Amino acid sequence: MKTPVKVTITGAAGHIGYALAFRVASGAMFGPDQPVILRLLEIPQAMSSVHGVGMELEDCAFPLLYDVVLTDDSAIGFRETDYAILIGAKPRSKGMERKDLIEENAKIFSAQGRAINNYASDQVRVLVVGNPANTNALIAASNAPDLDRKQFTAMTRLDHNRSLGRLANKTNTLVADITRMTIWGNHSMTQYPDIGNCLVKGTPAFELVSRDWAIDHFIPRIQRRGAEIIEARGLSSAASAADAVVDHVRDWVLGTPSGDWVSMAVASDGSYGIEEGVMFSFPVTCENRDYEIVQGLELDEFSQSRLMASDRELRKERSVIEELLPKT
Ligand code: NAD
Ligand code: LMR
């Protein structure tokens, strides 16, 4: 058997954390031969609840689950961890935008960035889920000066998966028939779900659906899907978010299939004219716990303007939390 990997889940007593912990323990994230040690990090008020999660994990008797640590101490929660999945944060409710959470949630991510810097494995991989995810990831990465920016990502995989579902439905195909979906930008209303490079069973998507459908129906539907779920459930997405976490980390670690890519928010290196440093969702290929931004995609004027709108929004979010970014 392989050496177990240590996986820290913050906010593990919350809705997403509860849906996620069992899937990680079952082997869905790292494969059927990779043991895991779970570190469930919560706030003191939620420790009783997270103890219940720990009891249920034990009751599942997962063969791959070697240990579970329940704690409200980030020094213990992040100690030598290989994967830090930062979910613990406030969710939005009806009528809010994700960026309305910025002031309240931002401080969590500066403290956790410092703790990851100090206690985690120097090869740790970090995924930020708590909203506004892109800017929270920027805060965490900026507070971890000893780590590489490439070790920090934010989640747009849920938007990516939503887009696959929508396009499969429209073209009467299976999600497995679709490749090269892309989410550009911020996990917000300015995100740009782009089917311009998609192939459906090898056929370009725009030979099967019209540009008007993409602009008038597909793009706004994906942009608003989070709010649509909140409207229906009275709570934000949880099981689908946990599923996207599994997909994001699995592909980062085990690699993306040849000829395809996935969407991840990563530190911009200036690709496609995006401000360097902001956490922007790009199409990426992954191999061996590393990613590369897909280069050379053609962007027409419409696409360019969508990317720039998200870039502007991310710069604005950055200016709101500037005091949480250590001065260089
Ligand atoms: P929730 O309220 O059900 O759970 C949040 C949990 O985090 C709670 O148990 C709380 O005690 C814990 N927590 C709060 N501060 C913490 C801290 N400093 N350290 C550790 N734990 C802490 O919320 P949820 O539905 O699980 O959503 C969590 C976050 O994920 C929200 O910000 C939500 O908007 C976001 N989200 C993001 C995506 C995405 O695609 N990026 C998708 C869905 C939800
Ligand atoms: C989502 O996309 O479902 C999450 O970011 C939750 C939200 O606030 O929309």
Question: Ligand 1 in contact with 11 (CB < 6 A)?
Answer: yes
Please give the full DSSP string across 218-249, using - where no structure is assigned.
IHHHHHTHHHHHHHHHSS---HHHHHHHHHHH
Among candidate residues 15, 51, 160, 187, the one labeled active-site is: 187
**Among 249, 318, 277, 264, which residue's Cα sits nearest to residue 109?**
318
Q: Is the pLDDT of residue 250 over 90?
A: yes
Sequence ranges of the chain with CATH classification 3.90.110.10? 157-318
User: Does 292 score more than 70 pLDDT?
Assistant: yes
The span from the CA of 8 to the CA of 11, in Å, is 10
Sheet holding 290-293, edge to edge: 65-71, 36-41, 5-10, 83-86, 125-128, 152-154, 262-267, 279-287, 290-293
Q: Which atom of ligand 1 is nearest to the CA of 17?
A: 26
**What pLDDT is stored for residue 324 in this prediction?**
84
Averaged over 107-113, what is the pLDDT?
96
- The domain defined by 157-318 folds into L-2-Hydroxyisocaproate Dehydrogenase; Chain A, domain 2 (3.90.110)
Question: Cβ(225) to ligand 1 under 6 A?
Answer: no
Residue 328: pLDDT above 70? no
pLDDT band at 313 (very low <50, low <70, confident <90, very high): very high
User: CATH number of the domain at 5-154, please?
Assistant: 3.40.50.720
Q: Is 217 a catalytic residue?
A: no
| Residue 104 confidence class, pLDDT cut points 50, 70, 90 | confident
pLDDT of the residue at 284? 98
What mean pLDDT is predicted for residues 64-79? 98
Secondary-structure percent of the chain, ordered helix, strand, coil, rounded to 5: 45, 20, 35
Question: How many angstroms separate the alpha carbon of residue 33 from the centre of ligand 2?
Answer: 32
Q: For a pLDDT cut of 90, what percent of the chain falls above it?
A: 95
SS3 8: strand
Instruction: Name the segment(s) of the chain with CATH classification 3.40.50.720.
Output: 5-154
CB-based pocket (< 6 A), ligand 2: 91-92, 98, 131, 158, 226-227, 229, 236-237
Distances (CA, A) of 174 to 200, 211, 285: 9, 21, 22
Q: What is the mean pLDDT of residues 76-104?
A: 94
- Sheet of 199-200, strand order: 178-179, 199-200, 203-204
Measured CA to CA, the distance from residue 20 to residue 86 in angstroms comes to 12
Residue 90 clears pLDDT 80, i.e. is over it: yes
Q: What angle do CA 219, 252, 25 make, to 5 degrees?
A: 105
pLDDT class of 272 with cuts at 50, 70, 90: very high
pLDDT for res 187: 98
